[in-house]
Each structure stands twice: as C-alpha cells, then as structure tokens.
Amino acid sequence: MNQEQQMVHQFHERFGLLMNTRPSLPGVAVHRLRTLLIEEELAEFRNAGEAEDLVGVADALGDLLYVVYGAAAEYGIDLESVFAEIHRANMTKDPRAGCRADGKVAKGAAYQPPDVRGVVESQFASGRLVAAVPAWKRAPGAPMPSRPSEVVLVRRWRRGRLGLLLVPAALLLLAVLAAAGYLGLATPSGADLPQRVSTIASGRELRPDQVPPLLAQAVVAVEDERFFIHHGLDTIGTARAVWHDVSGLCACEGGSTITQQLAKNVYYQSDDRVARKIPGMAVALKIELRFDKATIMADYLSVVPTGYNLVGAREAACAYFDRTLPELSAGQAAELAGMLAAPSIYDPRINPDLARSRRDHVLGRMVEVGYLSPARAAAARQEPVLTGGVGHSPNCG
C-alpha cells in the first residue's frame, strides 16, 4: 500500500468513526459529504503526504454537517444550498495556498471550512424558514429568531440521543422496582426469626452475650469479612465469588454473607440453592433491618449445621472438643469456624489433615484482618485438631 492509498484508507476510517458519533444522517447527505471530501479535498492535499491534514478535513466537515443537518431537521433549511456553498468554496480555493516550494503543505496550514453559517443565517433573514417552525415551539407572540443558535441547532439531536438512553433505563428501573416489590411481598418478613431459631436449636439457642468474641472473629474472618459494615448483602464478595466461579468453571465460592446463610438455614433449608438465592437475599435485607449484628451472629451460630446431625456451635464444641464455647482455644475456635463451610469435609474425625489445613487458613485470615497476632496464630497452629472425645459429653452442655 503506497502513501496515497494509506492516506485514503486512514481518511475513510476516520470519516466512518466521525459518522458513527453523529446523529442518524440521510444516506444522500453522507454520500454527498464523502464525495466532496474525497474527490476535491484529497486532490488538494495529495502532494502533502500528511494524513493528519485529511483527518482535520474530516473533523471540520463532520462537525459542520452535524450542526447543519440539525438545523435542517429543526427549521427546514435547504441542504442543497449548503452543499453548493461547500462546492463553491472548494472550487474557488487556490490550490497553491499554504504550499511550500517543495510542494508540501506549509506548517500551520489548516482547512478553512466554507461559510455555511452564512448560508443558514441568510435563509433565516430571508424569512423562508418561518413556516418550517411549528407554532408550539414558540411562546405566544414571540418573534422568530433572527439567527440560529448553535445550541438550538443541535438540541433536537441531543434530546433524541438522551431519549434513546432514557427509555431502556426507565424500563430497567421499572423492572427492578417490580421485582423488588414482588420479593418484598412474597418473602418472609423476618419477624418470626427468634421463634424459628429457637425451634431449630431445640430451645438451646445462643444469646449474644454467650458468643465468645474469638469465635465470632474467626467466623467473620473466614466467612464474611465485611459482616460489620454491610447491610445483609456484600456486593464486593458476591462479585469476587462470581468471578472465581466463572474463571474456574465451577460453583467453587458461594459469596453469601452470614446474614444470607442465616436466612437460608432458617427459611429455605430444603429448597434448591439456586432457585432461592434471590429470595434469600431479600430476607437477609429484612433481617438486617430488624436485628443488630450481635443477635444475627448468635442466631447464625445457633442454627448452623456442624456435621452429622449436629446443629449449632454449642453442640459442635461439645462433640469435637469436649468444651463449652467460652473454653475454646484460638486454634479450636478457628477449627470450628473453618468447618462451617463444609462440615462433612472438614470433620477432624474423618479428615484430620484437611481440618488442620482449613484451621490454619482461618488463623491466617484472622492475622490478616487484625484479630490475632502472628505469634498467637503460630502457637495455635501447634494445637492438635481433635483434643476431646466424640459425642455429647455431659460436662460441656
């Protein structure tokens, strides 16, 4: 491809980009503009060897046509007279103007567009456009403008483009509001949460003051690090989980908050996970509106499955470590918190190596968020993963 072909190619590319950013123009107008530019302007700049000159021409006439066609659509301006003015200016322009002795275009020489505004204003002055302006666009008794304002010329197109954006946005907003309204009416209010928690926990639900801070911190660190700042839904965590699931081609990460898990365990235990994901989110929001974080954490630890017919952190501490919740060490609290994601997998009686790896991960997360010092976490990693008997000891109820 020689230099001239490259110039033409770049010009066509730039012209197409310009037209894509302009309002919908009639095909004949685009064709006429392209013809004027290619046949007349390209010939003038052929010896320049600088494609930037053609880009400047496309910019100037592209912007010009945008304003002119806006005037034509708004006021009925005759486009033929505009094209005639462009043609006249090109035909009368001195092709040697701005050229050096070597035939190159002099530095600083730029395309000067024809006096199209003069043509438009002369049509206004002649009074030929009065009939083209609808009466409803003028205040009663207001005179016709003496000249077109550039803002007025392009206003219609701006309104049109804005309308194209507003219509789908409004439809989307209506759909979201309708879905939110439906979920608000079709999902539980959360008012009966305490009664449901008590039933699931067989009357042994935890009060907020019975939850050891160390256990709550371990659960937050590994399950829901933004638990204390979100309102039931963690958009950051959900987005991260979706990305991990999509990039890994598996449903490897849930992204549910502690409040969402509580809603699922209380209201949607036997329902399909995917089908109840959205309703569960709605219930989580309602729970957050009714209860404080300490109560939500206590309720969650009261009903969360902890493996093999065990329900709640109290039973798990007794079964796995033969201890009450306040007696749990840092390592045991981390081990118990790590089991909640998959109790059957991280059960230390069956998979002690996996349980140890999971516990160490939780301890690492607690260090990262500032709940444990590195020294205390290192000491906790030395603890065995199972220290007590298996089952319900009468000493730890």
Closest by Cα among 328, 360, 326 to 346? 360
C-alpha 88/C-alpha 82 separation (Å) is: 10
CA distances from 354 to 113, 321, 358, 385 (A): 76, 17, 6, 10
Domains (range + CATH), the chain = 3-148 (no CATH), 193-380 (1.10.3810.10)
Residue type, 368: E
Residue partners of 385: CB distance under 8 A and separation at least 6: 335, 348, 352, 355, 356, 359
**Amino acid code (one letter) for 393:** S
As a whole number of angstroms, the distance between CA 69 and CA 52 comes to 25
CA distance 86 to 116: 7
Contacts of 84 (CB under 8 A, 6+ apart): none
| DSSP H or E segment with residue 153 | helix 150-186
| pLDDT tens digit at each of 397 positions of the chain | 565 566 566 556 655 554 554 444 455 555 555 565 555 555 555 544 444 455 555 555 555 555 555 555 555 566 666 666 666 655 544 444 444 444 444 444 444 555 666 666 666 566 554 444 444 344 445 444 444 444 344 444 444 555 567 777 778 888 877 777 777 777 888 899 999 999 999 999 999 999 999 999 999 999 999 998 888 888 877 777 666 655 554 444 557 899 999 999 999 876 556 557 788 888 999 999 999 999 999 999 999 999 878 899 999 999 888 899 999 999 999 999 999 999 888 888 888 899 999 999 999 999 999 999 999 999 999 999 875 555 555 556 6
Give me the amino acid identity at 175: A
Question: For residue 95, what are the CA distances in angstroms to 32, 226, 324?
Answer: 21, 70, 96
263 in Cβ contact with 187 (< 8 Å): no
Task: Please report, to the nearest 10 degrees, the dihedral formed by the alpha carbons of residues 31, 34, 36, 40 taken in order.
Answer: -140
Q: Facing residues of 105 across strands?
A: 99
DSSP letters, 34-101, are HHIIIIIIHHHHTTT--HHHHHHHHHHHHHHHHHHHHHHHHH---HHHHHHHHHHHHHHS-TTTTB-T
- The whole-angstrom separation of Cα 348 and Cα 76 is 83
Give this prediction's pTM: 0.56
Q: What crossing angle do the helices spanning 213-223 and 352-368 adopt, rounded to 10°?
A: 90
